[in-house]
Amino acid sequence: MVFTLPDLTYKYSDLEPFIDSETMEIHHSKHHQTYVDNLNKAINGFSEFDGKTIEEILKNIDTVPESIKQQVINHGGGHANHSLFWKLLSPVKTEPQGKLEDAINSTFGSLEKFKEAFTQKSMSLFGSGWTFLIFTKDNKLDIKRHSFQNSPLSYGNTPIITIDLWEHAYYLKYQNRRAEYIEAWWNVVNWVEASEIFSEAS
Ligand code: MN
């Protein structure tokens, strides 16, 4: 099994001015590629991963051999989180649809209230990591932070939307201004994709 870097469905420059072209190019072609390369190195020679997706492996993280488990959490998580992050970005403005729109309204009160809560959680993440809107194993929407590259999949939860809060995701354009990056990112969230993921999970 060899994992590969997924192509983007838009150009690096398509998310300007919210996410700049240079950040997108380095983030995708260098940072994400490194997670893929290190994942492939870690699992080299372990035939139990043949034919499995990274999502399947992370969902069953307890079955991964102890000698490489942390590397799979780090680099496999990095591969899965970034693959999802790219899919959940869109150059075109979108809105939550159908079941996801309803669930956000009933869980958080409104889209605006959800955005406030998600932004607040993202601002208070210490160090590097991600914030996720998750669909929990108890069939609820929730907002969850994970440090480093830990994946919600390893905790039985399905990620619906996510933001990368490592400095490499925003430092070139926003430096230490994480709040500005988050505010800009809301403009390029792919709610159509998120709504489809939620429909399949719920
Ligand atoms: Mn990243």
pLDDT tens, 30-71? 999 999 999 999 999 999 999 999 999 999 999 999 999 999
Instruction: Count other C-beta atoms under 10 Å from residue 62's C-beta.
Output: 7
Residue 17 CA to ligand 1 center (angstroms) comes to: 18
If you average pLDDT over residues 24-29, what whole number do you get?
98
Judge contact between 189 and 87, C-beta under 8 A: no
The strands making up 129-135's β-sheet, listed across from edge to edge, are: 141-147, 129-135, 158-164
Q: Which two tokens stand for residue 182?
A: 């988050």
Q: How far is the CA of 41 from the centre of ligand 1 (A)?
A: 19
- How far, in Å, from the CA of 65 to the mean position of ligand 1? 26
pTM of the predicted structure, to 2 decimals: 0.97
Radius of gyration (C-alpha) of the chain in whole angstroms: 17
**Is residue 1 very low, low, confident or very high in pLDDT (cuts 50, 70, 90)?**
low
Span from the CA of 127 to the centroid of ligand 1 (angstroms): 13
The pLDDT tens digits for 170-195 are: 999 999 999 999 999 999 999 999 99
Domains of the chain with bracketed CATH:
20-87 (1.10.287.990), 98-201 (3.55.40.20)
Q: How far is the CA of 32 from the centre of ligand 1 (A)?
A: 7
